[in-house]
């Protein structure tokens, strides 16, 4: 299974991080099943709202009435104004986002998305900020933009040298020619 974690900033105001998506309507009263990638079991206790991307970079808040843990990565959730199965069905397959500050409260310290926004450095050369994490079975791919082009940097045993959480940097040793593939 491949997971994607994204970081978006709106007009330099608020940053949002994708935590998963609504996968099913549950019951007849409008409950939904949220499959999340927070890296630990959570009920999101204390969270008042989550966000759905209505249009590109436009996030609509949905206020939480109640939650109940189903499994370590699934949660039943009841949202305000969603009172029927049919209404809930409209949110199925929608990506769910949290404000970055809320994300930090609920995500496990070891979840790969914690390095969103970190800078990747290859052989003392700063490459750019991690904009997205794509989690694959044997490696992580970090999406950056270099010279206006999308670049995917693999993180695995051979390429990852060090993660410095205080400085927010990821040091890598990339295979020769990898960047040339993207930047030509």
Domains assigned to the chain: 3-107 (2.40.30.60), 117-183 (2.30.30.240)
Residue 54 has pLDDT above 70, yes or no: yes
Q: Distance between CA 44 and CA 46 in Å, rounded?
A: 6
pLDDT of residue 8: 54
pLDDT of residue 112: 79
Average pLDDT, rounded, for the chain: 87
- List, for residues 110-145, the tens digit of each pLDDT value: 777 788 889 999 998 999 999 888 878 788 899 999
Residue 3 has pLDDT above 90, yes or no: no
pLDDT of residue 56: 73
pLDDT of residue 134: 83
pLDDT of residue 12: 39
Residue 13 has pLDDT above 60, yes or no: no
Q: Is 47 exposed, middle or buried (0-12, 13-18, 19+ CB in 10 A)?
A: middle
Q: Which helix (H) or strand (E) holds 72?
A: none
Residue 171 has pLDDT above 90, yes or no: yes
Q: For the chain, what is the radius of gyration of the CA atoms?
A: 18
Q: Distance between CA 66 and CA 28 in Å, rounded?
A: 15
Q: Distance between CA 117 and CA 111 in Å, rounded?
A: 14
Judged by average pLDDT, the poorest of 75-79, 90-94, 112-116, 165-169 is 112-116
Print burial letters for 146-181: b (CB count within 10 Å at least 16), e (below 16): eeeeebebbbeeebbeeeeeeeebbbbebeeebbee
Q: Predicted confidence band at 7 (pLDDT cuts at 50, 70, 90)?
A: low
pLDDT of residue 165: 87
Sign of the CA dihedral running 98, 101, 102, 103: positive
Mode of pairing for the β-strands spanning 119-122 and 169-172: parallel
Residue 14 has pLDDT above 70, yes or no: no
pLDDT of residue 10: 44
Judged by average pLDDT, the poorest of 2-16, 37-51, 83-97 is 2-16
- Mean pLDDT (whole number) for 71-86: 95
């Amino acid at each position: 299974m491949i997971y994607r974690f994204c970081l978006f900033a709106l007009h330099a105001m608020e940053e949002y991080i994708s935590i998963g998506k609504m996968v099913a309507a549950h019951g007849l009263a409008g409950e939904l099943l949220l499959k999340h990638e927070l890296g630990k079991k959570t009920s999101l206790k204390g969270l008042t709202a989550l966000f759905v991307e209505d249009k590109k970079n436009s996030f609509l808040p949905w206020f939480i009435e109640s939650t109940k843990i189903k499994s370590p990565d699934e949660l039943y959730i009841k949202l305000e104004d969603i009172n029927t199965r049919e209404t809930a069905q409209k949110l199925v397959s929608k990506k769910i986002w949290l404000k970055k500050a809320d994300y930090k409260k609920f995500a496990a310290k070891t979840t790969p998305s914690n390095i969103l926004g970190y800078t990747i450095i290859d052989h003392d050369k700063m490459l750019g900020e991690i904009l997205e994490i794509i989690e694959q079975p044997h490696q992580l791919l970090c999406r950056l933009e270099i010279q206006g082009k999308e670049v995917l940097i693999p993180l695995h045993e051979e390429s990852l040298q060090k993660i410095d959480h205080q400085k927010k940097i990821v040091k890598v040793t990339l295979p020769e020619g990898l960047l040339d593939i993207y930047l030509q």
